Chains A and B, each alone.
Chain A
């Protein structure tokens, strides 16, 4: 039997914190053969990144390898001196990081950083290093590589920075490449090009790769084997086909069920996540029978009508001539990549900012004519509410959960005293928030709980239109599934209309009756969700759909290349 390239045996890592030591890894073991691609999947706090940093001895000061062995080509890495380790770094194993722009030295040109990496392990003249750096930039398919050599990281896009990072990582032909969430934060089309590049390069050069990601679909698509981690343990390890078709560990089962796929329905997701940690009482359960809403009686005005909306910022156009219409109780999805103007749209419709041109009609009344500065006094203020993206940022740190929910009720309704309290409790309950959490402050709550408070706050004034701005983008998939189920149930119960803004096409498909695709502030396609996702007409929508990572039964891509 040959020695594996990397063997991790019973690895334990502890972090010293103010509250004493915290175990991040509790005995992780796996093997990796040369040229193999392994995906490590887990939610936040599972220890997947810690595994990578421990294996490369790049843990920060607080982290310490408490026990276990890390055998690289049979040599225990955890016992090497710093100097010996330096010789391995880059030359034998290297890493790619999550935030490519931050991972590059901001005040050194790309060419020099590449040359630094090259010359760290080989005697080389500056000119030779520059020539080699140019070759590397060509290898990672950077356009106009000669010019990019003298560029600084801030002059490149996020995707470009990640290509440069890949070039630096492969500069000295390491045998193992560890990619830690390499595409998180990149747009879905950029993600696809970066991942395809990584798969091709590792395959061509016979490098082994460990891909660390929270996205099960991504791992399944690009890796020959996938390991699932939970709470610092590796709970299951298998080929993607087996993992998807027959997950064994209960956690894997939940994770697989909660990850949206091309064909999954909301019901699949919620049923699968029922036992997830975010699943508090009242969270789960979706009406299975999707009885179509009865049509509005004739003559009822549209709930929302947007005509030729334009928003300019300092000369740049964020929203460019967008028109849309929504009926009562309808859910409309607004999808697009960064810079598409979808967040600006949500704030315009919510009347938090003023449009540069165009009309917004709510219930037939021109609310766009009321300046955003005065809209808080309008009677329509309570009709349009919003749920924000990052649950951490959306709650006032100095308000308890109760105060956060009560504030809009106090401002926008006549409820006071016991009636106000009753309304807050009711909204919290309907959002699946246990009443004993209501006197807590944001820093004492989990992400899922904070997301529920954000929802409770928005529904407490009984709005008719709820704008959801990426409401689950910052949540783990199992929590996302529960929150999506909750939102869908609230919508049906209250006959709420949803404007669902998201970059995640699968989520929009499941949540929305109709979908609008935005690109650079313009509508490129619009139609019923089912039809749009099945048969996209515009090239851009097709490209977006094709870029969604998904697991297709069959050999993984890396293996074919």
Chain B
């Protein structure tokens, strides 16, 4: 209030799509990341038609060839085309990340929002527990869970979802907590809404944009997590193409200079995570009320 009141009448009143266009034009990096994410999803959907070779057909004649015109990313120890394997892995990796994050978001947001709204002793207890859990080495926990539940893809999803859960509970709690005493929440009560309706129809939609940022950042984390688990031999098993497994297979040949076996799957992982993270950052910038006109 010590500075000028900045008013910009008119501008953002167009369609939501127009606003999106305006935002993307002014955040080239976000636009790029969004395009990358879209591309990733397309590759995941159409991967069977995009692979130049059969991702699991081995050809020992061509084992361990460096990148060439025929094999852009080289071949592995069984002569399988690495690029095809990387493309084929996209679907699995994205599916794991998306379903794990979806699960933990759905559960975490609702639980967190209710805790934050109700407050009191239960809320403090949940908050305390979540804080403690978050500070625990979560990868170790995920490892133990997958090992115990069984070495299957579903269990990677469950483990990843569980270790993501505290983030959503905590986030939703904090976001609801700062809003629960605002005028419009009390006004909704005065306007005849029940507590449950206030949480579900008023507070949740309001924290959703902020949660979207969290989801985007978390997707990257979930991918790293799943890849890490399969790298150490948990979850997905060879010969199923998966980025973590591809790196693990290539690791054996790194001291003999077969760099492409690690570099290309690593690059795929990195790009996927980068896209999700940049998109999350971009979303945060867009949604930050201080930067909104």
Contact = CB atoms under 8 A, between A and B. Distances in A.
Do A and B touch, yes or no (CB under 8 Å, in the complex)? yes
B28 to A, nearest CB: 16
B187 A394 contact: yes
Given A17-B6, A19-B8, A411-B193, A44 B183 contact: no
Given A19-B293, A376-B189, A388-B187, 10 more contacts: A15-B3, A19-B8, A50-B2, A98-B2, A386-B190, A407-B191, A408-B191, A411-B191, A444-B12, A454-B187
B191 A454 contact: no
Contacts of A60: 3
B187 A457 contact: yes
B177 to A, nearest CB: 14
A186 interface: no
A385 B191 CA distance: 8
A393 B186 CA distance: 10
A351 B13 CA distance: 37
A17 to B, nearest CB: 6
Interface centre among B183, B184, B189, B190 (most CB of A within 10 A): B190
A550 interface: no
A386 B1 CA distance: 26
A45 B2 CA distance: 8
A350 B190 contact: yes
Interface stretch (A118-126, A333-341, A395-403): A395-403
Contact of A49 (B2, B187, B293): B2
Contacts of A399: 184
Interface residues of A, number: 52
A332 to B, nearest CB: 19
A398 B205 contact: yes
A44 to B, nearest CB: 5
B202 interface: yes
A525 interface: no
A355 B151 CA distance: 56
Nearest to A374: B194
B5 A44 contact: yes
Contact of A385 (B2, B5, B190): B190
A399 B182 CA distance: 15
Interface residues of B, number: 31
A461 B4 CA distance: 37
B192 interface: yes
Interface in B272-293: 289, 291-293
Main secondary structure on B side of the interface with A: loop
A352 B186 contact: yes
Interface of B: 1-8, 11-13, 182-184, 186-195, 202, 205-206, 289, 291-293
Contact of B190 (A63, A352, A395, A398): A352
Contacts of B183: 388-390, 393-395, 454
A408 B192 CA distance: 6
Nearest to A463: B190
Contacts of B1: 44, 49
A45 B187 CA distance: 29
A407 B7 CA distance: 28
B192 A19 contact: no
A18 B7 CA distance: 11
21 contacts: A15-B6, A18-B291, A18-B293, A22-B4, A24-B4, A45-B4, A49-B1, A49-B3, A347-B186, A352-B186, A376-B193, A381-B190, A388-B183, A393-B184, A396-B184, A396-B188, A396-B202, A408-B187, A411-B193, A458-B190, A461-B191
Contacts of B182: 393-394
A412 B192 contact: yes
List the 4 shortest-distance A-B pairs measured between CB atoms, nearest first. Answer: A394-B183, A408-B191, A411-B192, A388-B183
A490 to B, nearest CB: 17
A452 interface: no
A180 B184 contact: no
A479 to B, nearest CB: 13
